[in-house]
Amino acid sequence: MRFHRGGTATAGLALCASVLTACGGSGGTGGSGDPASPPVAGGSASSAPPAPAGSSPASPEGGGLRGKVIAIDPGHNGGNASHTSEIAKQVDVGNGHKECDTTGTETSGGYTESAFTFDVSTRLAKLLRAEGATIVLTRKNDTGVGPCVTERAAIGNRARADAALSIHGDGAPASGHGFHIIEPAPVAGHNTKIVQPSAKLGVALRDAYHSGTGIAYSSYIGTKALDRRDDLGGLNLSTVPKVFIECGNMRNAGDAAKMTSAAGRQSMAEALAKGFAAYFGQGAG
């Protein structure tokens, strides 16, 4: 996702200069020696790829997932880079206008954020379905365009999701490392009712992700891996509890090594599944 060093009602709004800029908003790269992009999981929004051979599905602790509806939003899309005029169109995000979507970032070895987010999202969907949850994905493959950030929010809203998560990888300067959660800041007339439950969701996912993956809190943004923003349409327009996660900095060599590893992505999905179980287990809302 795009990198904003604190653009919110609590940290100040920042905008990237070009639709082709990755999450980091700069042309520099970070990370080295990471492998070529692994195959991207395919299928429809109602299916998820099997876990890698030899892996064991997560057993989320805390229960409470059966019957829940969870919206999972894999950030960006693989076709965005070849459809720049389409994704550059301006959409209303509740308190201003932004691009429909962006291309996302990538590692120095060329593993794209869109491929990463789709892989983690489909792994997570498989785990949550196994625990009885109904999963709604905002895109069904990594070869399409968009959808716009407004539609990504609307998909979760129409599903009346009990919780929603947008999965990203950051593109910050290579010296920064770690993950962070982005919670919604209040935007009058739009998301004020979901700010509090979203913060609760954010803490549950942060704690589970940190303990389950061993990835450090972000060294460059947020407080204990928590940030708040009011410039993201996916959060501003959501009517259901929702957060974003920047799973790591794809420009950083250490983070990139985990994000390009199938085992690393599986551990991320398992940790997030446990985070959802903890959120619902403690009484969502």
Peptide bond between residue 173 and the one before it cis (omega within 30 degrees of 0): no
Going by their DSSP bridges, the two strands 90-92 and 163-170 should be labelled as: unpaired
- What is the phi/psi pair of residue 229, to 5°? -140, 150
Question: Residue 192 gets which letter from DSSP?
Answer: G
Cα distances (Å, whole numbers) of residue 49 to 9, 41, 42, 259, 266: 38, 6, 7, 17, 11
Q: Which residues of 213-243 are buried (b: 16+ CB within 10 A; e: fewer)?
A: bebebbebbbeebbbbbbbbbbbbbbbbbbb
Neighbours of 145 (CB within 10 A): 18
Question: In terms of DSSP H, where are the helices of the chain?
Answer: 84-88, 113-130, 149-158, 195-213, 233-236, 253-259, 262-281
Q: Which residues are catalytic?
A: 246
Cα distances (Å, whole numbers) of residue 27 to 21, 22, 54, 248: 7, 8, 38, 18
